[in-house]
Amino acid sequence: MSYQTVDVRPIAGALGAELAGVDLSQDLDNEVLSDIHQAFLDHLVIFFRDQHITPDQHKALGRRFGTLNIHPFVQGMEGHPEIVEVIREPGEAFNWGGSWHTDVTFLEKPALGSILYARAVPPHAGDTIWANMYLAYEALSDGMKAMLGSLRAVHGSGAPTRFSEHYKSMHLKETEGAIESIHPVVRTHPETGRKLLFVNSGFTKRFEDMTVEESRPLLDFLFRHQQRPEFSCRFRWRKDSIAFWDNRATHHLAIADFHGGAGGQTDVRRVMHRVTIDGDRPV
């Protein structure tokens, strides 16, 4: 793929690329925005280094791709309800996003994507891994594809307290309770037309018209399959780095490796700001 205004450097064979020559604090013209959007579709997760953006600029960037989601359970940043502050304090044993998942698939219209900005990070540790769900689908046998093509699955948020009970920085909104939605197991990407596997261990509970127990063997196989290393890329965060991923076609995992090890002290405060872009109902 040829890009006219940005330098696109893939970081792995499966997905992921760093984009250079872009200052995201500026008002991007349509040509630059078009190249960023194309790189986003081509590589599924794109990264920018050495960016210096305010909360308003962060939101403005997200709005160039759609309306911004306000998380149904977690309070946003003061004065900026569209920005979720993902904060890990020293000594916390858990890391928000520390299991494989796709964001907010319990919603009727799951996210198009998210833009995550590193405000403070340890000198090492806390990398994030993404995986390509086109490849996960395409690697399945024809028989498995045929069977999954007719299935739909129930995605549930679980109790709202799951978003705060392990994380000191997460402040819950008053809410009526859990949210569930039903989505196709095999989804067609609305922009590329490619088929992809659309279940995830974070929120997919069971298949429609089946019990949790009946669904578990096949779901467990699919979850393991999605996590195969040949489908993935790994990104090492630095302060002022940004990741923008296609939530429709990727999974991700925030690695919780902050404690001990031979590399020195990593148990320090980590602060990330995230905006999430609304998507469409999966088909």
Active site residues: 101, 103, 252, 274
Place of tokens 């609305």: 190
d(CA 138, CA 19): 27
